[in-house]
Amino acid sequence: MSYQFITSAKLPTRHGEFDLHVFENEDGQEHVMLSVGLPVVDPLPEKNAMQTRPIKPHTKSIESSVPLVRIHSECLTGDAFGSLKCDCGPQLNTAMEAIQATGYGAILYLRQEGRGIGLTNKIRAYALQDQGHDTLDANLMLGLPADARIYDMCGPMLAHVGVDEVRLITNNPDKVSYLTDNGINVVERVPLVVGVNDSNADYLATKRDRMGHLLDKEFYTKAHLNK
């Protein structure tokens, strides 16, 4: 599937100012990159924000420090509503803070809600979790994959700002493998364990024990300490 850069603008946030870049695939699905301190390789002319131009690979090497990058899949409930069922909101905000502090990096915000199953199915899975099923089994009971996310847009998004090596903020080894397999050098994996609470400790334990995420062995919440 091909991806095109659409337009960009400045985005002031409570964490600092980012450059916001919008990308679109051939099906019209939009993805966003927030960047700090990264040069744009092929900017879109301002005369028409609906024009598109193929993303071209960067031709110069990165000479300064390796950028800090977070691949973050959309989570309406966590990112916007502050849900305690997951750690998505705290992860996003912590990554934004870290990239601003570093002054050189990006967040690839991918529009694949609910690990790729969509918002409605995610809430259906929530209902099954309310009955005591874990996050993986809830998806499977709905006839859905445990994780339907894809990362094929990450390469073109990073190429747009000339990045071919990263310090990747993640607990998920699959993201490291995907970037490495597609020519992006992951020079460091930066762990991100934030937002742990009584409502999401079991969710995180499932990601650790059944989905291979690299998390601490124990979560020191009341829910776990009282078991």
Percent of the chain whose pLDDT exceeds 90: 54
Active site residue 149: yes
Q: Label residue 19 left, alpha or beta by phi (over 0 means left) and psi (-120 to 50 means alpha).
A: beta
Domain extent listing, the chain? 3-112+149-195
The rounded percent of the chain whose pLDDT value lies above 70 is 85
| H runs (alpha helix) in 131-200 | 135-141, 154-160, 173-181
Q: Residue 114, annotated ligand binder?
A: yes
User: What are the C-alpha distances in Å from 182 to residues 96, 174, 226?
Assistant: 25, 12, 44
52 labelled binding-site residue: no
Contact 72, 110 (CB under 8 A): yes
Those residues whose C-beta lies under 8 Å from the C-beta of residue 127, and which sit 6 or more positions away, are none
Q: 210 among the known binding-site residues? A: no
Residue 109 φ/ψ, nearest 5 degrees? -95, 105
Q: Which CATH architecture has domain 3-112+149-195?
A: 3-Layer(aba) Sandwich (3.40)
- How many Å apart are CA 76 and CA 111, to the nearest integer? 10
Minimal CA–CA distance to 36: which of 91, 82, 95, 102? Answer: 102
111 in a labelled binding site: no
User: What is the residue whose two structure tokens read 């071209």?
Assistant: 56
Residue 63 annotated in ligand binding: no
Is 74 labelled as part of a ligand binding site?
Answer: yes
Q: When comparing pLDDT for 49 and 92, which is higher?
A: 92
45-90 residue pLDDT tens: 433 333 333 333 333 333 458 999 999 999 999 999 999 999 999 9
206 is in an annotated binding site: no
Sign of dihedral through CA atoms 187, 108, 214, 211? negative
If DSSP codes are grouped into helix, strand and coil, which group holds residue 6? Answer: strand
Q: Are 25 and 153 in contact (CB under 8 A)?
A: yes
Structure tokens at 134: 């874990």
Is residue 170 a known part of a binding site? Answer: yes
Q: pLDDT tens digits, residue range 138-192?
A: 989 999 988 888 888 899 999 999 999 999 999 999 999 999 988 899 999 999 9
- Burial degree of 193 (CB within 10 A; 0-12, 13-18, 19+): middle
Residue 217: the pLDDT is 66
Burial degree of 114 (CB within 10 A; 0-12, 13-18, 19+): buried
Structure tokens at 224: 């776990």
- CA proximity to 88, closest of 100, 102, 101, 70: 70
Q: Which of 87, 124, 149, 167 is catalytic?
A: 149
pLDDT in tens, 190-203: 999 999 999 998 88
CA dist., res. 136 & res. 210, Å (int):
8
Distance CA 15, CA 17 (A): 7
Per-residue pLDDT reduced to its tens digit, 195-225: 999 999 888 988 898 888 988 767 655 555 4
Among 79, 87, 124, 147, the active-site one is 147
The model's pTM is: 0.83
